[in-house]
């Protein structure tokens, strides 16, 4: 079991797979953190969503929503603006997936390898790297780390999708093909990634990927 005082930051990107955080991945991550005896500390940027998608039809609604407000649904209201993030407050940081990671935390969904990352996300990752603390990412969220740490040759995975893997490698990352529940650990940069719903996965497989990622983060944080 981890030390009860171990704190793991969780960066959310909205609420719902098509325009925010993938809810299953987020909940499985929060559960995995609880199961190792650590404490989850949730953050999200206080910014407008790129767009809002009707999850029943898959169509854009034309309305506007706020990433922090929507993320608070998953965090049950206990969440802080990412602008207030300090690496001194957590022992590790993790980014669940969902299109929000590629639409709100970055614009990878729209621009691929030419994407940019939200400055607050860049600052949080930089702060964790400067402190020598580990960072995890699930599903499509490793694309964020590829953009920020690609020039350092970060090793990571989004599963086995050739197009996405190629985009990550264009940004300088080293992509490793993985299947359900598997993780890729870059020990030098202290980065842990798992494919989750980038594969055709079920909830048990998502939970396994989240648990293995969290356990690896705890090991790196020791």
- Residue 14 CA to residue 69 CA, distance in Å, equals 8
How many CB atoms are closer than 10 A to CB 77? 8
Which position among 15, 28, 139, 196 bears the catalytic label?
A: 139
Cβ(12)–Cβ(76) below 8 Å: no
Cβ(142)–Cβ(213) below 8 Å: no
Phi/psi zone of residue 155: left (φ > 0), alpha (ψ -120 to 50 degrees), beta?
beta
Question: In terms of Cα–Cα distance, which of 48, 91, 84 is closest to 220?
Answer: 91
Handedness of CA 9, 14, 15, 16 (dihedral sign): negative
> Catalytic residue at 139?
yes
The residues annotated as belonging to the active site are 139
């Amino acid at each position: 079991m981890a030390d009860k005082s171990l704190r793991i930051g969780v960066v959310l990107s909205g609420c719902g797979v098509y325009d925010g955080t993938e809810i299953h991945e987020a909940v499985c991550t929060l559960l995995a953190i609880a199961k190792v005896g650590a404490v989850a500390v949730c953050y999200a940027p206080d910014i407008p969503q790129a767009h809002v998608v009707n999850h029943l039809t898959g169509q854009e609604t034309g309305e506007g929503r706020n990433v922090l407000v929507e993320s608070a649904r998953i965090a049950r209201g206990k969440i802080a603006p990412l602008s207030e993030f300090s690496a001194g407050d957590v022992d590790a940081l993790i980014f669940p997936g969902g299109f929000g990671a590629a639409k709100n935390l970055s614009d990878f969904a729209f621009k691929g390898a030419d994407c940019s990352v939200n400055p607050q996300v860049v600052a949080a990752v930089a702060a964790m790297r400067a402190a020598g603390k580990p960072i995890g990412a699930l599903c499509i969220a490793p694309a964020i780390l590829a953009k920020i740490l690609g020039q350092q040759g970060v090793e990571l995975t989004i599963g086995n999708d050739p197009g996405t893997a190629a985009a990550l490698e264009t940004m300088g990352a080293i992509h490793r093909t993985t299947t359900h529940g598997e993780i890729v650990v870059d020990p030098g940069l202290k980065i842990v990634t798992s494919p989750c719903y980038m594969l055709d996965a079920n909830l048990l497989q998502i939970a396994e990927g989240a648990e293995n990622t969290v356990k690896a983060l705890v090991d790196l944080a020791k």
